[in-house]
Amino acid sequence: MKTNIWPGLLVMAATIYLVRALPLTLLKKEIKNSFIRSFLYYVPYVSLSVMTFPAILSATASFWSGLAGFTAAAVIAWVDGNLFRVSIGACMAVFLAELWL
């Protein structure tokens, strides 16, 4: 059975366009409220985190190894901040947790 994907694509395109175009057309002046400016500044980071975090926990064979990898990545990023070391440390933590569990 072949399904038509065009209606879904059109709805998604219209939704994305409205979310991006409406603020540009409705707000003519610069936003001066510091709370709203800081809220809008952090929206991309929060949405990326909300989409990524569940995938981190479910990408491994068990929840606990995913949590170990996330914890290791967070600690190494806090201490060092080097992306290569963070990824290697998270992979090693997941590997060791999978061996142990």
What does 13-64 look like in DSSP terms, one character per residue? HHHHHHHHHHHHHH--SPP--HHHHHHHHHHHHHHHHHHHHHHHHHSSSSHH
Residue 41 in domain: yes
Q: Is residue 24 part of a domain?
A: no
Is the confidence at residue 97, as pLDDT, over 70?
A: yes
Local structure of 80: helix, strand or coil: coil
Domain range for 92 is 32-100
Domain count, the chain: 1
Mean pLDDT of 42-58: 87
Average pLDDT, the chain: 89
**Residue 27 is assigned to a structural domain of this protein:** no
Retrieve residue 91's tokens: 């992979």
Residue 88 within any structural domain of the chain: yes
The answer, yes or no, to whether residue 72 has pLDDT greater than 90, is yes
Q: What is the pTM of this model?
A: 0.61
Higher-pLDDT residue of 59 and 28 is: 59
Q: Is 20 domain-assigned?
A: no
CB 76 within 8 A of CB 88: no
Is 65 among the domain residues?
A: yes
